[in-house]
Structure 1
Amino acid sequence: MPRLPRLTGAATAALALGLLAAAPAAGHEPLVTDARVLAHFDLAAGQTPENIALDRDGSADLTFAFARQIAHVTPEGRTQVRATLPAVAHPATPLVHRAAVTGIARAQDGTLYVGYATGTDATGIWRLSPDGGAPQRIAALPADGLPNGLALDERRGVLYAADSVRGTIWRVPQEGGTATAWATGRALAPLAAPAARGFGADGIKVRRDSVWVSNSDRGTLLRIPVGPDGSAGPVETRADALPGIDDFCFPGQGRSVLAALDSAGKVVLIRPDGTVTDVLTARDGLSDPTSVAVRGRTVYVPNSALTTRRDPNLLLSRLRHLIGRG
């Protein structure tokens, strides 16, 4: 999710969502190889990618957080802005102080859903039709929160939004309506200042009958079972010691996770037993990576460059082999 460094002089707001770097263990072949930049973006125009959703043809939709845009990148690397969310007067988003488009999720029919954090009554979940047109808000969220990661469970017809400031997972009907606080508690909350940046629940994904969430401040990867009635079960910690963990994805059929660690500036593989291996780093071309997605054996890494100020881009790399159920 977007976040600001401590501002000094003319320093500008910065998004800090990072993919963990991949570096192979000594004596082993690297899991992720052949890194290359698919598309370069314009930092001066605010084209700082925050989150990603993939289509079947290998194209990607990205949120450009502080430009308030949803952009489409073709498999050939061409970039087109799909939509710009409406500007708000006097945005007062907690922590970042600017209006920001954050998480993105794609439905099977191509409908896109995004989180919009503004510090005003425009904050909420917005929908973009596959036929185009203006984005429409389908659910309001509290103005004093910061909706960050977004996940869609089409089987149940619900969206889950991770609120990094309020430490809450909001549940919203896919067709729109009233948001309800689905899960709360210490495990989802940020740490108190000045010990941390104030970002709790961050990335989020639905995996079978559970919702997985990262907590950036606490450096944890969490699993929350979904009960038969749709309620949240007890929060389980599946991995820790992951400083600045942001968004993540499941690269295979099991519970292994590829995660973005913004504090470390790298992408890591987290095995089901909690062991962590670096797979991508700045040496591979990462520049403030913000999220990660996988289709087949292709790994997609958006890079915001908001702190490096160098080359915001969409980086592609290749899994050496598919990751099974381990």
Structure 2
Amino acid sequence: MSAKPVKHGLVAAVLATSSLFALGAAPASAATFPLCSTRIVQHFDLDKGQTPESIVLAPNGTAYVAFAKARQIAEISPSGAIRILATLPAPADGGVNTPALGFPLTVGIDRATDGTLYFLYATGTADLTGVWRLRPGGTPQRIAPLPATSLPNGLALDQSTRSLYVADSTGVVWRVPTQDGTATVWSSDEELAPAGFLGANGIKLRDGAAWVTNLDRGTIVRIPLRANGNAGSAQVSVTGLPGIDDFAFTGSGNEIIAALDTTNQVTLVKPDGTHTVVLTAADGLQGPTAIALRGRTVYVPSAAYLTAEDPNLLQAHLGR
């Protein structure tokens, strides 16, 4: 979710039928390495609230996205066909009490190996806010309520323990077993706290730790996962990433590709914490919100929260 300047624009204002792999290319920026062959492969409908906030890929080439403003979960086939799988019920008060934003939104999404989708819904109301599940061919069901005052944003599934980790932008990480659905605070480390707007945002699990972005602070923190399942102390691994939303590991050690929403950039972060901008508005970015990889192919959804022009899905090749 994007940073503070977006708030009023989102409240006020906030894949077509073309092929996911065959749409025309966007202008290339000077940053052609290590990301190259950059092109927009899908345009979304802003008027329908198709602001992609999170993405997860299935092995067969299907993509699943959370359309934040539309309160929807959508499936995008390899050919580019969009199918709406679920539209979440609107809160009775319209979501005006959703923390920091003032409107209801579907947010982080992840997928189990059996095809079950888990995703987050923030409404500012106790009856709807929390972790939701959608089994193949089923209907959406809330499996874990979260406080109305929370802003669940990023989601990561530990396939081995069947536990979900939720980055809450009010400054905590929740842990939710997929079986009983009882949410407990896993970490409330001060490095997760906001500095005026949104704190903890994106989250991924890797090498015995949860890696969490902090949008306000422009950081990525690493929180060790102890043998007993408890959280260790958060360690700041990367700084200087203003407006960071979500991210993905490239598969090369702890190398990361991160979406910087408010600066309209994508950056490559090396394991030593140094980082280089690899995509910009010249490549077609419209406020990137997340990153997903399949092999060497990088997918970047943009929600156009600030530009209010062209929410889209960009594809690039990760070279070396």
Deviation of 1:133 after TM superposition, in Å, equals 2.3
Whether 1:74 and 2:73 are equivalent positions in the alignment is: no
Work out which of the residue numbers 31, 35, 42 in structure 1 matches 2:34: 31
Structure 2 CA distance, aligned partners of 1:186 and 1:288?
A: 27
Q: Normalised by the size of structure 2, how large is the TM-score?
A: 0.91
Q: What residue is the counterpart of 1:243 in the other structure? A: 242
Structure 2 CA distance, aligned partners of 1:3 and 1:263?
A: 6
**Total equivalences in the alignment:** 303
Identity of aligned residues (%): 52
User: Residue type of the partner of 1:12?
Assistant: A
Work out which of the residue numbers 88, 91, 100 in structure 1 matches 2:91: 88
Structure 2 CA distance, aligned partners of 1:3 and 1:264?
A: 10
Work out which of the residue numbers 111, 114, 120 in structure 2 matches 1:115: 120
Structure 2 CA distance, aligned partners of 1:94 and 1:72?
A: 28
Whether 1:124 and 2:130 are equivalent positions in the alignment is: yes
Gapped regions of structure 2 (runs ≥ 5): 15-27
Structure 2 CA distance, aligned partners of 1:100 and 1:69?
A: 8
- Give per-residue Cα distances to partners, 1:224-266, cap 9 Å, x unaligned: 1101110101111111011111100001141000001112111
Structure 2 CA distance, aligned partners of 1:2 and 1:138?
A: 26
Structure 2 CA distance, aligned partners of 1:277 and 1:68?
A: 33
SS across alignment from 2:307: coil
Deviation of 1:208 after TM superposition, in Å, equals 2.8
Structure 1 CA distance, aligned partners of 2:212 and 2:145?
A: 21
Q: Normalised by the size of structure 1, how large is the TM-score?
A: 0.89
Structure 1 CA distance, aligned partners of 2:7 and 2:215?
A: 17
Q: What residue is the counterpart of 1:185 in the other structure? A: 189
Structure 2 CA distance, aligned partners of 1:281 and 1:158?
A: 35
More displaced stretch, 70-79 vs 139-148:
70-79
Deviation of 1:11 after TM superposition, in Å, equals 7.1
- Give per-residue Cα distances to partners, 1:83-119, cap 9 Å, x unaligned: 1111111122011111100000100111000010000
Q: What residue is the counterpart of 2:280 in the other structure? A: 281
- Give per-residue Cα distances to partners, 1:248-292, cap 9 Å, x unaligned: 000114100000111211110110111101111111111111111
Q: What residue is the counterpart of 2:8 in the other structure? A: 7
Q: What residue is the counterpart of 1:258 in the other structure? A: 257
Change (3 A) 1:6 1:82: closer
Q: What residue is the counterpart of 1:233 in the other structure? A: 232
Gapped regions of structure 1 (runs ≥ 5): 15-20, 322-326
User: Residue type of the partner of 1:7?
Assistant: H
SS across alignment from 2:147: coil
Deviation of 1:3 after TM superposition, in Å, equals 5.7
Deviation of 1:309 after TM superposition, in Å, equals 1.7
User: Residue type of the partner of 1:99?
Assistant: P
Change (3 A) 1:76 1:188: same
Deviation of 1:306 after TM superposition, in Å, equals 2.3
Whether 1:172 and 2:176 are equivalent positions in the alignment is: yes
Q: What residue is the counterpart of 2:150 in the other structure? A: 145
Deviation of 1:13 after TM superposition, in Å, equals 4.9
User: Residue type of the partner of 2:70?
Assistant: A
Structure 2 CA distance, aligned partners of 1:3 and 1:100?
A: 15
Structure 1 CA distance, aligned partners of 2:81 and 2:42?
A: 7
Whether 1:106 and 2:117 are equivalent positions in the alignment is: no
Deviation of 1:302 after TM superposition, in Å, equals 0.5
Q: What residue is the counterpart of 1:324 in the other structure? A: none
Deviation of 1:313 after TM superposition, in Å, equals 1.2
Q: What residue is the counterpart of 1:315 in the other structure? A: 314
Contact 2:250 2:256 in 1 (8 A): yes
Structure 2 CA distance, aligned partners of 1:145 and 1:95?
A: 10
Which structure exhibits the higher relative contact order, with contacts defined as CA atoms closer than 8 Å and separated by 6 or more residues? 1
Structure 2 CA distance, aligned partners of 1:174 and 1:240?
A: 33
Structure 2 CA distance, aligned partners of 1:103 and 1:201?
A: 12
SS across alignment from 2:132: strand
Contact 1:152 1:158 in 2 (8 A): yes
User: Residue type of the partner of 2:113?
Assistant: Q
Structure 1 CA distance, aligned partners of 2:44 and 2:125?
A: 28
Deviation of 1:64 after TM superposition, in Å, equals 0.3
Contact 2:214 2:244 in 1 (8 A): yes
User: Residue type of the partner of 1:279?
Assistant: V
SS across alignment from 2:47: helix
User: Residue type of the partner of 1:293?
Assistant: A
- Give per-residue Cα distances to partners, 1:182-205, cap 9 Å, x unaligned: 0002100001x4xxxx10000000
